[in-house]
Amino acid sequence: MSSDNVKDQEQKALDEATMLATRLLGTSVDDASTTLINQAESRPGCLLVDVAMVLTIMNKESIEKKSHRQAMARAARAAIKNLVEVPSDG
């Protein structure tokens, strides 16, 4: 894979993370929390990646929004709990 291709993929991932951060941070904490918890149940692995990316952007840009951070942490814990549970056969 060429270095230009890698740079293009990195930029695409950063752009997607920035759009996600804008979408989550541009809503109320309740709306963001609902969205995140739904994702924790339906796509727990993807949610963990998304939360990590958004928090990284928030840290880089010095965005406080403590309530949004707490909502992301709650959703991440729910996603981990969902991933750890062993599915039942019934």
Q: Over the stretch 51-76, which tens digit does the pLDDT of each residue have?
A: 999 999 999 999 999 999 999 999 99
Q: What is the mean pLDDT of the chain?
A: 91
Residue 1 has pLDDT above 70, yes or no: no
13-48 residue pLDDT tens: 888 888 989 999 999 999 999 999 999 999 999 999
Alpha-carbon span 28 to 80, nearest angstrom: 24
Alpha-carbon span 73 to 71, nearest angstrom: 5
Q: Do 89 and 52 form a contact (C-beta atoms < 8 A)?
A: no
